[in-house]
Structure 1
Amino acid sequence: MSLKWTRRSLMNVVAMGAIVASFPAMAQDKPPVTIGLITTLSTPAGYIGEDIRDAFNLALKEEGGKLGGVPVTLKVEDDALKPANGKQIVDKMLGDNIKLYTGINFSNVLMAALPSVLGANAFYVSNNPGPSPFAGEKCNPNYFVASYQNDAFHEAAGLAANELGFKKMVILAPNYQAGRDALEGFKRTYKGEIAGEIYTKLDQTDFSVELARIKSLAPEAIYQFHPGGAGINFAKQYANSGMSTSIPMVIPSFSMDARMIAATGNAADGVYASALWTTETDNSASKAFVEAFRKDYGRDPTIYAAQAYDTAHLIGAGLKAVNGDLSKDGDFRSALRKADFTAIRGNFKMGSNQHPIQDYYLTKFEKNADGKIVQKIVRKVASDYHDAYASKCSMK
């Protein structure tokens, strides 16, 4: 063996060692996963998007900018509650090769944007809306819902109304996908008489005509779904009409969230609601979340915030399973279906249509010992509740 050959061999060994040593550094330099968070940050409903964004950022902060141990970059855009805006933002983000989306808080915006996401073989994990078409025949392997199927929340409200003994009710909702799903869901489980079914405009502010009609129909109670600013106006006008003292109101939590309570004053006192979570939910994960949210943002979290926080951790479970590599789409789907995370609402499983199986509660807004109106849990009305559309989904 010559000295020249030995030196060349040593040089080769050193070079190979340098390459091997660089592998961990190269792995650490892997770019973070970008998540497109599209939500409503302007318009009177903008506070909903703020809670979604802030809760998602809280989950990231608690993990040092990671979800499931994977570095994440959040790209936030405002859809201004316009379906065309939502689709345009998604199309632009897809052009930037973003493969994972969440954040939309209105069904009409999601219905416009979702086909682009799924058509590009990207993933969407819904933190709030669960429109019925995509829970049944249009279900898709890349579409997951971490909140609820739209009808299910209102089906639980129908069960609650039965338990409260209301035999004759008027029901109201805005005339858009979630509003129609709301009233269909309520009618599916409510056993009493529907004295009137009223549809309003999504951006309506004056409900004087509807209130006059309710009075003429003389129901035992009403059920109304109006989220955001419309819900604030409805609750105020209903209380001012004097009917709230004689005709009780049943709602989903979305019609009187924590931010709406502050805006409506005592109008919330005594109102019944269906819920899957409230700030009074009694488990350690929920208590820690509420405390952290209050500390960071100086306000109570809404149901929208709670769902966004759970959504972040569900996504984290998926990212952990593939180490942030979304090209491993089969493994990512499997991990999302397993839903291996601690939901602050408590019981949470994925159904065959990739919508939650979970518990629902009857709650009542009333003052606590400090005189603050909170949403107290009265009792559970549904356990391990499946939505009505899973059987129409071809995925198994």
Structure 2
Amino acid sequence: MNKKFIAASCALLLTGAQLPTLAQAQIKIGFSAPLSGPVAVVGQDQYDGFMLALEQGGGKFGGQAVTVLKEDDQLKPEVGNQIVRKFIDKERVHAIVGLGFSNVMMASHKVIVDSGTVAISTNAGPSPVAGALCAANVFAVAWQNDGSAESMGKYVQEKGYKRVYLMAPNYQAGKDMLQGFKRYYKGEVVDEVYTQVGQSDYSAEIAQLQSAKPDAVFAFYPGGMGVNYIRQLSQAGMLAKLPNFSVFTVDGTTMPALRDAAVGTTFGAMWDAALDNPENSAFVAAFSAKYKRVPSEYAAAGYDAGRLLDVAVRKAGAQFGDKRALAAAVKAAGPEFKSVRGPFQFNKNNMPVQNYYAFQVAGVAGVPTVKLLGTPLPAHADSYQSKCALR
């Protein structure tokens, strides 16, 4: 066998070994969220929104085929941590999306930061991660926890309510929400009540609320917690006589169950199906057609995460496999992709700068309908950015 033949054979073998790698080049994404239990709808909406964006891209982000690995964190920090470690160490994903509730995200935060893997939260925006624990590879495409609550604090202050009662579950996001409300509300806080995460019976707390006789109540109860809380307020006759303000309590995930019980409530959010812009109209129509339900803000955040990654992977080009390059591309993609919420960009701490709106549920021809009241906090940046060392 001559040397030229051997050289040619080796060249063919090398080419053949490379071709499958090039042909199979793809983005691998780990998606983690609560997909069981009382808040499963919150995680499912994020996932469905994300997968809709991927479907609209033909199964690709930035021209690269995408594989999505889905895991249920069960709203348990230790489970979420195990999932993240699996995504990073075993699956070697390019990005992690979802990240669960704030308590789950905080349990995995150091592992994610140390790995350098790009992580995009579609729900949690804990204050420590917005501040001193900010990292170049960790992004929140949904919100910094305080934002929506800050908008309600400002709205309630402007409406002149003198005495307000506060309620939330006892975990990081609950504390962030009430702190955010108080940052903009300057009246008297009658009481600040923290309940168990996942609690379903609020009869004792509602009795205390009745006894306190405030001018209004502000609460944060996502998913099934919100359904139980509002229903029990309604059954106690409190919704008819006490102005009710909330965040992540009356929304697209809870309205189908609450229906008439939600009428009259006012809530703050960075998004609702009621927003009138071309991107949102198209998203709501597509999501409703595919999943046979109206999307929530969680679905909107998941959808935007997919659209953000589409732009970021395209910007990263051949370097999409480089962790730092992909993180830089995600940051740069912030103001470029068309968000369904309206204007969007990342702050220096990788938290959103965005509008926070006030909405109210009204009864229109016997049907609960959300209407936009205003924008208490336009182009709002969170209150923790000064503690972040990033530029």
TM range (shorter): over 0.9
Select the residue among 326, 350, 367 that pairs with 1:332. Answer: 326
Deviations 1:133-182 (A, max 9, x none): 01100111111111111111211110111222211100100000000001
Question: Is residue 174 from structure 1 mapped to residue 169 from structure 2 by the alignment?
Answer: yes
Return the offset for 1:319.
Answer: 1.3
Choose 318-327 or 12-21, whichever is displaced more.
Answer: 12-21
Select the residue among 341, 348, 352 that pairs with 2:344. Answer: 348
| Partner Cα separation in structure 2 for residue 355 and residue 64 of structure 1 | 28
Per the alignment, residue 116 of structure 1 pairs with: 111
Per the alignment, residue 298 of structure 2 pairs with: 304
Q: What letter corresponds to residue 129 of structure 2 in structure 1?
A: F
Choose 313-322 or 23-32, whichever is displaced more.
Answer: 23-32
Select the residue among 232, 235, 251 that pairs with 1:240. Answer: 235
Change in 2 beyond 3 A, CA 1:33/1:222: same
Question: Is residue 189 from structure 1 mapped to residue 184 from structure 2 by the alignment?
Answer: yes
| Partner Cα separation in structure 1 for residue 112 and residue 94 of structure 2 | 8
Return the offset for 1:326.
Answer: 3.7
Per the alignment, residue 127 of structure 2 pairs with: 132
Return the offset for 1:34.
Answer: 0.8
CA contact (8 A) 1:285 1:344 kept: yes
Per the alignment, residue 150 of structure 1 pairs with: 145
Per the alignment, residue 226 of structure 1 pairs with: 221
Per the alignment, residue 260 of structure 1 pairs with: 254
Select the residue among 371, 374, 380 that pairs with 1:376. Answer: 371
Change in 2 beyond 3 A, CA 1:133/1:324: farther
Question: Is residue 360 from structure 1 mapped to residue 361 from structure 2 by the alignment?
Answer: no
Return the offset for 1:216.
Answer: 1.2
| Partner Cα separation in structure 2 for residue 28 and residue 327 of structure 1 | 13
Q: What letter corresponds to residue 365 of structure 1 in structure 2?
A: V
Return the offset for 1:267.
Answer: 1.1
Q: What letter corresponds to residue 172 of structure 2 in structure 1?
A: Q
1:307-322 map, 5 Å:
307-322=301-316
Q: What letter corresponds to residue 162 of structure 1 in structure 2?
A: Q
Return the offset for 1:261.
Answer: 1.2
Deviations 1:226-268 (A, max 9, x none): 111111100000011111111110011x111223111123110
| Partner Cα separation in structure 1 for residue 58 and residue 386 of structure 2 | 40
3-state DSSP class of the match of 1:171? Answer: strand
| Partner Cα separation in structure 1 for residue 87 and residue 301 of structure 2 | 23
Deviations 1:339-386 (A, max 9, x none): 1200000010111111110111111011345x3323211111111101
Select the residue among 88, 91, 95 that pairs with 1:94. Answer: 88
Q: What letter corresponds to residue 127 of structure 2 in structure 1?
A: S
Change in 2 beyond 3 A, CA 1:368/1:324: farther
Per the alignment, residue 4 of structure 1 pairs with: none
Which TM-score applies when normalising by structure 2? 0.93
Return the offset for 1:313.
Answer: 1.2
| Partner Cα separation in structure 1 for residue 279 and residue 34 of structure 2 | 27
| Partner Cα separation in structure 2 for residue 49 and residue 141 of structure 1 | 25
Percent sequence identity over matched residues? 35
Q: What letter corresponds to residue 104 of structure 1 in structure 2?
A: L
Per the alignment, residue 73 of structure 2 pairs with: 79
3-state DSSP class of the match of 1:255? Answer: coil
3-state DSSP class of the match of 1:244? Answer: coil
Pick the structure with greater CA Rg: 1
Return the offset for 1:21.
Answer: 9.3
| Partner Cα separation in structure 2 for residue 353 and residue 103 of structure 1 | 18
Q: When the two structures are aligned, how many residues end up with a matched partner?
A: 387
3-state DSSP class of the match of 2:239? Answer: helix
Question: Is residue 208 from structure 1 mapped to residue 203 from structure 2 by the alignment?
Answer: yes
Deviations 1:255-299 (A, max 9, x none): 112231111231100101111111111011101111111111111
3-state DSSP class of the match of 1:263? Answer: helix
CA contact (8 A) 1:41 1:47 kept: yes
| Partner Cα separation in structure 1 for residue 30 and residue 15 of structure 2 | 34
1:51-70 map, 5 Å:
51-70=45-64
Question: Is residue 279 from structure 1 mapped to residue 273 from structure 2 by the alignment?
Answer: yes
CA contact (8 A) 1:104 1:129 kept: yes
Q: What letter corresponds to residue 63 of structure 2 in structure 1?
A: G
3-state DSSP class of the match of 1:243? Answer: coil
CA contact (8 A) 2:99 2:120 kept: no
Question: Is residue 42 from structure 1 mapped to residue 36 from structure 2 by the alignment?
Answer: yes
Select the residue among 288, 294, 305 that pairs with 2:282. Answer: 288
Return the offset for 1:95.
Answer: 2.2
Q: Which runs of 5+ in 2 are unaligned?
A: none
**What's the C-alpha RMSD, in Å, of the aligned pairs?**
2.3
| Partner Cα separation in structure 2 for residue 324 and residue 51 of structure 1 | 31
